[in-house]
Amino acid sequence: MEKERLEHIKKRLREGDSSCFTPLVNEYKDMVYALALKMCQSAEDAEEVAQDTFVKAYKGFGRFKGDSKLSTWLYQIAYFTAINHLRKKKVETTDVDISHVPQDDSVWSQIQEQDRKAYLDRAFELLKPEERAVINLFYLEEHSMDEISKITGLSVSNVKVKVHRSRKKLYGILQLLLKNEINSLL
């Protein structure tokens, strides 16, 4: 059914009917925007990346073979568009040394639920865009390692390593943030 739908859209696009692409934009715009926002950390940049993603998808739709899901293909375009956008802006990222952070979970369990989200958001901001992307794709969007591999162009084993390292780094950042918060209260 999906392949028939995509072939129909391709045919209509070849015939010059650009309006047939609108339902795809409407169906996937929130998904693309969410990934762009996680990577760019700015609503304005995310809107620009999402728009560029759909322009690229429109121009390249005839080359989409259907080997993967359409959402995976769009995620891949959005991912690389966001990476390129950030490179152009030369966004500074922060590397955090987490080797000296103690491995103690007791502080985390004492924080109220609303505070947890604030700390998680702050820690997420300190990750590099590629790290935010793999964490978002795997844990929040619940994509498989194979899908993330197709989206990012990395091997499955490299995706597994990046997810593991990004999760470990996020955990270390959270421990550091929480330790600093406790120390400021004392």
Query: What letter does residue 66 receive in the DSSP assignment?
Result: S
Q: Are 112 and 84 within one domain? A: no
95 domain-assigned: no
Q: Are 85 and 119 within one domain? A: no
100 domain-assigned: no
Last residue within a domain, chosen from 31, 56, 89: 89
97 domain-assigned: no
What phi, psi does 9 have (nearest 5°)? -65, -45
Q: HSE-up of 41 (CA within 13 Å, CB side)? A: 17
| Residues of the chain where predicted confidence (pLDDT) is lower than 50 | 91, 93, 101-102, 108, 111
Closest-CA residue to 24 (of 44, 49, 6):
6
Q: Are 141 and 81 within one domain? A: no
The predicted pLDDT at position 111 comes to 47
CB-based contacts of 98, cutoff 8 Å, min separation 6:
168, 169, 171, 172, 173, 175, 176
Enclosing domain of residue 49: 2-89
Q: How many domains does the chain have?
A: 2
Q: Are 73 and 116 within one domain? A: no
User: For residue 159, which amino acid is it?
Assistant: V
Q: Are 15 and 80 within one domain? A: yes
The predicted pLDDT at position 86 comes to 83
Name the pTM for this structure.
Answer: 0.59
Instruction: Give helix then strand counts, H and E, for the chain.
Output: 9, 0
The predicted pLDDT at position 59 comes to 87
Are 78 and 152 a contacting pair, CB within 8 Å? no
Give the model confidence (pLDDT) of 122-143 as tens digits: 888 888 888 988 988 898 888 8
Q: Are 15 and 81 within one domain? A: yes
